[in-house]
Structure 1
Amino acid sequence: MPVVIGLEGSANKIGIGIVRDGRILSNVRHTYVPPPGHGFLPRDTAKHHRDHIVDLVRRALTEADVDPVTDLDCVAFTKGPGMGAPLVSVAVVARALALLWEKPLIGVNHCIAHIEMGRLVTSARNPVVLYVSGGNTQVIAYSHRRYRIFGETIDIAVGNCLDRFARVLKLSNDPSPGYNIEQLAKKGTKYVELPYAVKGMDVSFSGILSHIETVARDQLAAGNCTAEDLCFSLQETVFAMLVEVTERAMAHCGASEVLIVGGVGCNERLQKMMGAMAEERGATVCAMDERYCIDNGAMIAQAGWEMFCSGQTTDMTDSWCTQRFRTDEVEVTWRDD
């Protein structure tokens, strides 16, 4: 069976993973953590990836007990979407390794890699997918060799909304701002009214962010609410929006499964709210923990494995990266259901 190495570096995490026929042989990762109150800049993130990628490749090969020349069948990398400089820094290494080891190259859509990893880990058959991360928010379902987008954010992603509010509160970026908001939210007791912005099947988070930033500035100092209350209120509002549009997609598709992928998918409150909705519909939630929800190399390797087995490869002249690579642009040649 083919053995594929995957290189992921579309945002602040650099990850290398190796898979063989549905088995994850290794999955190592390193995260760039900026100071509290700051986001991660493309230049600094790309430098972080360059500093760590060679060591991570060695670790992944060692853990998998794989010889790159005799055992590997192809090299997969994130083609997009993502941040330009980090994407390019990893693609350069992927091209170099493919040439060095004389292996085919496969450019992978980051969003589809999340979905294929979720299908592998949870054994979901044909779910409606809620993809929630720092850079993307989409409701997706498979139909006729494409992953179709039923709804999405019309401005910023839900993860970006959470991350930017964490900066307002000067929360640590370690292990992630969204995780630290989740921990504060568990201690919140008062719901602060926030805008609820569902527009058909799409959602909007920028207005909610602007509103809660104003509330934080005016109300925290006055003692009318706590940071814990605001984190609780923000989560309840944005997650309710996401559950609403996901349920409508499930009703349209007649789906009995919902798969949550992306970094925000680790959030236990989101999983619980989605679970309550699914239970009412007689459906099930397929969720993962931080090993596979958060960006990682194994998901790129798994999507690359599916593509390779269906006959897809990427010519070296087509191995450029793009910050905007739509989920529904990819022909899903490996599925016929």
Structure 2
Amino acid sequence: MVDLDKYLPERGYYLALGLEGSANKLGVGIIKHNKGERSDENRAEVLCNIRDTYNAPPGEGFLPRDVAKHHRNKVVRMVLEALKIANVTYKDLDCICFTQGPGMGAPLQATVIAARMLSQLHGIPLVGVNHCVGHIEMGREITGADNPVVLYVSGGNTQIIAYSHQRYRIFGETLDIAVGNCLDRFARVLKISNDPAPGYNIEQLAKKGTKYAPLPYAVKGMDISMTGILAQVEQLAKDKQRKTQYSMEDLCFSLQETLFAMLVEITERAMAHVQSNQVLIVGGVGSNLRLQEMMSKMAAERGGSIYATDERFCIDNGIMIAQAGLLAYRVGITTDIKDSVCSQRFRTDDVYVKWRD
């Protein structure tokens, strides 16, 4: 780990504002880095972490233009609320961090425009952050995981990641849709509510499932595929003759068990490859307790352990963007306004992780 304390200003701490808006959640967070070692619980202090979610009606997905409108309407008020909660002003901030990608184009653009506006109005440097790296760095900070294999699972991403030579290397990923997207799309078929999240509601229904419906198991080396599984479980849900055989709860249970078993398999393979006994689960789906349970059993059999957080830090949030952005800022990385264009396809391994050895 790079010794970041030598870069501390005279006041002895740094403050960063983070804006996250890559999908249907708008998050604003303010983080404080104090002087101290990583093991010191007071090194990074969460001063504020607020979030507002755009939810589509049951059975429908959210459209980018509607999400972008939501972000535009909320962002200024949420920033002012965050500053009030954290008891700081714009003058106290060292940098404004924003999600530069990956994500949905219109929501990303709405968020980056807000970040640019605040930067220019108050003369505060910008730091563009990779959404995936934000999840990883916040997970590492909260859990204290040293150098784990990372399972990143969310609505738009499914990746197995390990750190090497100042990059987060992708060892495996989805070949089609992300696990969160798979769960969300099945929730639409069943007309399950999107509040607080379709994946969460599937998790609760799955706890009541008792009968496993055989589904395809599509692991391809270190990668996985989920469209075939989704097609099969959707057909079971729509087939009137089979509705008496498998309840809605059974189908939710079967889908979860199949998808999570695939994720556990490729995670274990990555652990063996890099000779690690730690697993860090990040991303919105990472808050699923059944996934954590299955992964924990696998890790325990290897003499290892898992690290995970709750919905405050697993689900998209502004504090993770502030954390990753501030780490970058402290080693001299900033984003010029002309380079602050967001990208829907910003790969995790494109990021130069200068703050780690």
Give distance in 1, aligned partners of 2:171 and 2:70.
35
Give distance in 1, aligned partners of 2:318 and 2:200.
21
Aligned 1:1-337 pairs, distance under 5 A: 1-21=13-33, 22-69=44-91, 71-219=92-240, 222-336=243-357
Residue 39 of structure 2 is matched in structure 1 by none
TM-score (normalizing by structure 2): 0.93
In structure 2, the residue corresponding to 1:178 is in which secondary structure? helix
Report if aligned partners of 1:220, 1:226 keep a CA contact under 8 Å in 2: no
Change (3 A) 1:78 1:222: closer
Report if aligned partners of 1:6, 1:17 keep a CA contact under 8 Å in 2: yes
Q: Percent identity?
A: 66
CA RMSD of aligned residues (A): 0.8
**Letter of the aligned partner of 1:190 in structure 2?**
K
Report if aligned partners of 1:220, 1:227 keep a CA contact under 8 Å in 2: no
1:222 to partner: Cα distance: 4.1
Q: Which runs of 5+ in 2 are unaligned?
A: 1-12, 34-43
Report if aligned partners of 2:236, 2:242 keep a CA contact under 8 Å in 1: no
TM-score (normalizing by structure 1): 0.98
Change (3 A) 1:244 1:58: same
**Letter of the aligned partner of 2:24 in structure 1?**
N
Give distance in 2, aligned partners of 1:50 and 1:246.
38
Give distance in 2, aligned partners of 1:219 and 1:240.
28
Give distance in 2, aligned partners of 1:201 and 1:49.
36
4+ runs of 1 displaced by more than 2 Å? 219-222
1:310 to partner: Cα distance: 1.1
1:83 to partner: Cα distance: 0.1
Report if aligned partners of 1:33, 1:40 keep a CA contact under 8 Å in 2: yes
In structure 2, the residue corresponding to 1:269 is in which secondary structure? helix
In structure 2, the residue corresponding to 1:2 is in which secondary structure? strand
1:157 to partner: Cα distance: 0.1
In structure 2, the residue corresponding to 1:11 is in which secondary structure? coil
1:215 to partner: Cα distance: 1.1
Give distance in 1, aligned partners of 2:96 and 2:296.
37
Give distance in 2, aligned partners of 1:213 and 1:280.
34
1:221 to partner: Cα distance: 6.0
Give distance in 2, aligned partners of 1:207 and 1:97.
45
**Letter of the aligned partner of 2:324 in structure 1?**
A
1:188 to partner: Cα distance: 0.1
Q: Which runs of 5+ in 1 are unaligned?
A: none
**Letter of the aligned partner of 1:280 in structure 2?**
E
Give distance in 2, aligned partners of 1:52 and 1:82.
19
